[in-house]
A and B are shown apart, each in its own frame.
Chain A
Amino acid sequence: MERLDLSRLSVRELNQYLHHELPKNGVDEVEIVNPSGLHSIAAGLTVPVKIRVLGHAGYFLAGMNQRADVTVHGNVGWSVAENMMSGSVRVKGFASECAGASAHGGLLVVQGSASSRCGISMKGVDIVIGEDVGHMSAFMAQAGHLVVCGNAGASLGDSLYEAVLYVRGKIHSLGADAREEPMMEDDYRKVDELLRKAGIDYSSREFKRVASARSLYHWNAEAGQEY
């Protein structure tokens, strides 16, 4: 286990070490201390390493992550795990806007709430939020699953493509082309599997399914088009 201190290293030095030295030296566990809300901590990782960040991080934590498992013992700012490809990111506190934006794969868990635009344009990631999500979450979400254990804010799933959303609490409002659908056996299995991976103890029976009505993204040449 290696301990890296951001009061002594710059984020650039830290990330260069994680990108270039770490893959060579075989260290498989890293602890990052004094994150002090700095941006882009542990972004761009490509190796299967366990990283613990002790404290609150800023924007873009573990952005573009591949294969690494990153846990933050604190809160994160905007765009945590943005464009993640694989691996996992777990936030013990809350996340600010755009959590998991555009992420293609892997698992993002936020144990507290995530604010607006959570999972915006997600492309295959699985996201589990322990509490609430803010407005415009899963906007234009293309693939993957968003599990919200609390309430969802306004315009959930606006312009939704093929991502599927599960909400345990109240939905303030659905966005354009998002609709509630009945839960099927596959949905219960998926929610149970993701809750188990996230370590969050709810029953899938409490969740609703929201998916695309698919009326917005198929071009209808027959419809009268007025611009």
Chain B
Amino acid sequence: MCGIVGLLARTPDFRQRLGECLAPMLVCMGDRGPDSAGLAVFTAEIPSARRQFSLFSSAGHFDWIGLRDRFTEDMGSAEFESIENHARLATAVSPDQARHWLAEHYPQIHVLSVGRSIELYKDEGHPAEIAARYRFDRLTGSHAVGHTRMATESAVTPAHAHPYTAGEDFCLVHNGSLSNPWSLRRMLEKKGIRFETDNDTEAACRYLEWRMSQGDTLEKALQEAFGELDGFYTLLMATADKLVLVRDAFACKPAIVAEAPEYVAVSSEFRSLAHLPGIQQARLFEPVPEEIYSWSV
């Protein structure tokens, strides 16, 4: 069992309240996934020549200031903020160069996400602790997805927590379990795609990103995925400008959607939406199997 949540702001005011409304959704779904949690938030895109990286250190009390100083010395100016085990680095250096530099000087640092819009947090522990640790209630942005994990098929570590990312400005959270992640993975590895964990969700995430890198839209990639992914899944995905939801043909992993004038909210269970403003007037529905639901920013 796991919990998934997502929220997309439909008004400028609601963007300011995104974290304040989403954090209680995630904490509530801690009942479905108490092992670990994560959240990706999308904000206004930074200039096209720049990329922002979400970085994670599994060692407590990491010297982020040291990393920042060394990076700026070697690679030039960068924006840098850190909180606990996470940091955000924004730079004009190319993603490949930045990754290379990090791998060489700080191999213990994980790159959680890359893009012009996405920022990603994930860590081990109860979702309530993680939400408090990273002040999810203060986040602002156009849309966000979160996940609470109860591991069933691979280890409990920050790297195995969702959201998973691949490429730039794309992330995915998953409730369910896939039965063919290894065959997908073998197929993708032959194309030179590299994996970071042994988690089933990573295979779905990299499969979709690979399709998109070949020119598919996310919707087209999902149509293909219905034939390729075997197993149970409710998948919630985000790109820089969209929130997308699908359930597999069996639809045995739950989901509920609330559409209101100010927001679109998605969750595993209604009780995590009950606190949202105007929820009593929102249009509520349960997404049907193998239908692609997409909302634009």
A contact residues vs B (CB 8 Å cutoff): 36-39, 55-56, 58-59, 75, 77-78, 93-94, 96-97, 115-116, 134-135
Contact = CB atoms under 8 A, between A and B. Distances in A.
Given A56-B284, A75-B284, A37 B251 contact: no
A36 B254 contact: no
A58 B271 contact: yes
B288 interface: yes
B251 A77 contact: no
A115 B286 contact: yes
Contact of A77 (B270, B275, B280, B288): B270
Contact of A134 (B251, B269, B271): B251
Nearest to B31: A39
Contacts of A59: 269
Contacts of B271: 36-39, 58
A58 B270 contact: yes
A100 B289 CA distance: 21
Contacts of A39: 271
Which A-B residue pairs are the 3 nearest by beta carbons?
A: A37-B271, A37-B270, A36-B274
Contact of A75 (B251, B270, B275, B288): B270
Find the residue from A37, A78, A94, A97 having the highest chain B CB count within 10 A: A37
A58 B284 contact: no
Contacts of B280: 55
22 contacts: A37-B270, A37-B271, A37-B272, A37-B273, A38-B271, A55-B280, A56-B270, A56-B284, A58-B270, A59-B269, A75-B284, A77-B269, A93-B284, A94-B284, A94-B285, A96-B286, A97-B254, A115-B286, A116-B251, A116-B289, A134-B251, A135-B251
A55 B271 CA distance: 11
Contact of A58 (B252, B269, B275, B286): B269
Given A58-B270, A115-B286, A115-B288, 6 more contacts: A36-B271, A56-B274, A58-B269, A96-B254, A97-B254, A134-B251
Interface in B248-295: 251-252, 254, 256, 269-275, 280, 284-286, 288-289
Contacts of B289: 116, 134-135
Contacts of B272: 37
Interface string B24-66: 0000000000000000000000000000000000000000000
A196 to B, nearest CB: 29
A56 B273 CA distance: 11
A140 to B, nearest CB: 16
Contact of B251 (A55, A94, A115): A115
Nearest to A39: B271
Contacts of A93: 284
